[in-house]
Chain A
């Protein structure tokens, strides 16, 4: 029976260690607050970046797909010139922001472009939003391009202009089609914000790291951080699944 006793002792010892570790990392000096304030900042940055990213992405997607769809039909003039110019600008934007690491973009934003601002959360939101916009744009563009050309023709034949047809007929359908890809981008964005610490923002990851550097006990703070990210991602995946089902059921 002595081996059973040994296991029992080991478990108890481990539990005591865990308890001590837990108290050290989260309870002592109210260290758990690093995680909660960090989580708050992570959510703030993600939400703001999402809004910026979707707004930017939709605009860029409309410009790019409009250019590809109708520029050859336009007669030479100021309208055609402006569309071509806007398309060029969008292409440069997509190339630059998809072609460089987001951490580098973040640091350029914080240390160069907004060097005078010390509001890291806002600057980080802007950086992640502009970066995400490039990916959202391509997601939306594929959604717009996938809509049957007959939809645009039907809208135009009723007397809607190009923009009104986009707004009432094409974009609502495109949005529904790209929702899964958009949710994926949102989840990526949420996790990407974990590098915000590079510009001194105290996000969730930074919070865990601060605790680790104070307590010299990496296990619990880092796993706690990982668990919180995982829980959030699972929760959002669940929400999007529900939304998707609701959107789809309306057509059956």
Chain B
């Protein structure tokens, strides 16, 4: 049986996603039905208005445990999940 205290997903935010949310990293307990990247983004958007605004753009990229992930890929509260936008500045 896992300890409750450890059951937190570690979220990392980059670029303007970080700026809009206001922190580069946070730990969040995930509800049992948050099992895919898509559901995770839906869940996070409902957390605060800042999250909702930061995560509204459809082109955001997600990496789960340091590997680029797609919408249907699994996530759990044991994972490190990075969310970053495509950036085009040169």
- A and B associate in one complex: no
The chain A residues found within 8 Å of chain B, CB to CB, are none
